[in-house]
Chain A
Amino acid sequence: MSTLTDEKPWVAPAPVINAEHVSMTFPAQRALDDVSLQIVPGEVHALLGENGSGKSTLIRILSGYHTPDPGSVLEIQGEQLPFGSLRASHAAGLRFVHQHLALINEFNAVENIALDSGFGRPKWIDWEAQAKEAERLLARLNVEMDIWRPLSEARPVERSAVAIARAINTDSGRVSCVVLDEPTSRLPEPEVEQLFSIIHDLRRDGIAVLYVTHRLDEVTAIADRVTVLRDGKKRGTVQGSDIIRERLVELIVGEAIAKRRATHSLRHESETDRCLLRLEGFSAGRVDDVSFTLREGEILGVVGLAGSGHEDIARALIGAIPREAGSLWVGDTEVRSLTPRKAVDLGIVLALSNTVAGSAVKEFSVSENLTMSSLSRYKLRLGLIRRRPQRRDARKWIEDLDVRPSDPDATYGRLSGGNQQKVILGRSLNCNPKVLLLENPTAGVDVGARQIIYQRIIEQAKSGLAVLICATDLEDVTSTCHRVLVIRAGKVVAVVEGDYDERRLMSLAANGGDGDPPRTSQEGVGAHD
Chain B
Amino acid sequence: MTELSETETTHREEWVTPMTDSANPVGKPDGQPRTLRIGKILAVRNIGAIYVWLVIVLLFSVISGSTFFTSDTAKAVLNQYAITGIVGLSVIVPLAAGVYDLSIGSIMGLSGVLAAYLLQHTSMSPVVVGAVVLLLSVVIGLANAFVVAGLKVNSFIATLGTGAILTAITTALSGGLVITGRIGGTFSQLATTSFGGIQIAVGYMLLIMLMLGYWLERTQSGRQIYATGFDGETARLTGAPVTRIVTLSFVTSAAISGFAGMVLAAQVASGSPDVGQSYLIPAFSAAFLGATQLRGGRFNPWGTVIGVLLLGTGNVGLLVAGGPTWTPNLFVGCVLIAAVALSATHEGGRSRIRRLLTTKVGKS
Contacts and interface: CB of A to CB of B under 8 A. Distances in A.
Interface of A: 28-30, 33-34, 231-233, 315, 318, 320, 340-341, 343-345, 350, 352, 357-364, 368, 372-373, 375-376, 379, 383-385, 387, 398-399, 404-409, 411, 413-414, 427
A27 B12 CA distance: 10
Given A358-B237, A413-B348, A33 B5 contact: yes
B72 interface: no
Contacts of A387: 218
Q: Chain B CB within 10 Å — which of A364, A376, A413, A414 has the most?
A: A364
Interface string B304-315: 000000000000
B351 A231 contact: no
Contact of B233 (A29, A232, A358, A427): A358
B15 A29 contact: yes
5 contacts: A33-B9, A232-B9, A357-B234, A372-B223, A407-B30
A33 B8 contact: yes
Q: Chain B CB within 10 Å — which of A387, A407, A411 has the most?
A: A407
Nearest to A358: B233
B12 A375 contact: no
Contacts, number: 120
A408 B19 CA distance: 10
Contact of B17 (A320, A372, A405): A405
Given A30-B8, A231-B9, A320-B237, A384 B219 contact: yes
Contact of B227 (A29, A30, A372, A411): A372
A341 B8 contact: no
Contact of B15 (A28, A359, A360): A28
Contact of B16 (A233, A405, A409): A405
Contacts of A368: 223
A350 B20 CA distance: 31
A246 B17 CA distance: 28
B31 interface: yes
Given A30-B9, A427-B238, A375 B347 contact: no
A361 B227 contact: yes
B244 to A, nearest CB: 10
B231 A30 contact: no
B219 A343 contact: no
Interface string B1-38: 00001001101100111111010000000111000000
Contact of B237 (A233, A318, A363, A406): A318
A407 B18 contact: yes
Contact of B5 (A233, A357, A362, A408): A233
Contacts of A30: 5, 8-9, 12
Contacts of A318: 237
B273 to A, nearest CB: 38
Q: Chain A CB within 10 Å — which of B17, B18, B223, B237 has the most?
A: B237
B219 A405 contact: no
B348 A411 contact: yes
Contact of B226 (A29, A320, A364, A406): A364
A385 B226 CA distance: 15
Given A385-B223, A408-B30, A341 B240 contact: yes
B360 interface: no
Contacts of A363: 230-231, 297-298, 348, 351-352
A358 B234 contact: yes
A496 B300 CA distance: 53
A404 to B, nearest CB: 6
Contacts of A359: 234
B241 interface: yes
B239 interface: yes
A476 to B, nearest CB: 20
Nearest to B219: A383
A361 B220 contact: no
Contacts of A361: 226-227, 230-231, 234-235
Interface of B: 5, 8-9, 11-12, 15-20, 22, 30-32, 214, 218-221, 223-224, 226-227, 230-231, 233-241, 297-298, 347-348, 351-352
Contact of A344 (B5, B30, B32, B239): B239
A248 to B, nearest CB: 21
Of all A-B residue pairs in the complex, the 4 with the closest CB atoms, nearest first, are A406-B19, A358-B233, A344-B239, A373-B238
Contacts of B297: 363
A358 B347 contact: no
A238 to B, nearest CB: 22
Contacts of B298: 363
Q: Chain A CB within 10 Å — which of B11, B32, B223 has the most?
A: B223
B292 to A, nearest CB: 14
Contacts of B32: 407
Q: Chain B CB within 10 Å — which of A320, A358, A387 has the most?
A: A358
B19 A364 contact: no
Given A375-B223, A384-B214, A398-B19, A341 B12 contact: no
A357 B237 CA distance: 10
Contacts of A315: 237
A170 B9 CA distance: 42
A363 B227 CA distance: 9
B12 A29 contact: yes
Nearest to B31: A407
B22 to A, nearest CB: 8
B348 A343 contact: no
Contacts of B5: 30, 33-34, 233
A30 B226 CA distance: 37
Contacts of B8: 30, 33
Contacts of A364: 226-227, 230
A375 B220 contact: yes
A407 B233 contact: no
Contacts of B19: 398-399, 405-407
Q: Chain B CB within 10 Å — which of A363, A364, A368 has the most?
A: A363
Nearest to A373: B238
A470 to B, nearest CB: 14
Nearest to B241: A341
A360 B238 CA distance: 9
A375 B240 CA distance: 10
A254 to B, nearest CB: 12
B230 A362 contact: yes
Contacts of B214: 384
A408 B18 CA distance: 11
Contacts of A405: 16-19, 31
A404 B17 contact: yes
B351 A406 contact: no
Nearest to A343: B239
Given A33-B9, A372-B224, A373-B238, 13 more contacts: A28-B15, A34-B5, A358-B233, A361-B231, A363-B348, A363-B352, A372-B238, A373-B239, A387-B218, A399-B19, A405-B17, A409-B30, A427-B238
A360 B234 contact: yes
A414 to B, nearest CB: 8
Given A34-B5, A318-B237, A373-B238, A385 B16 contact: no
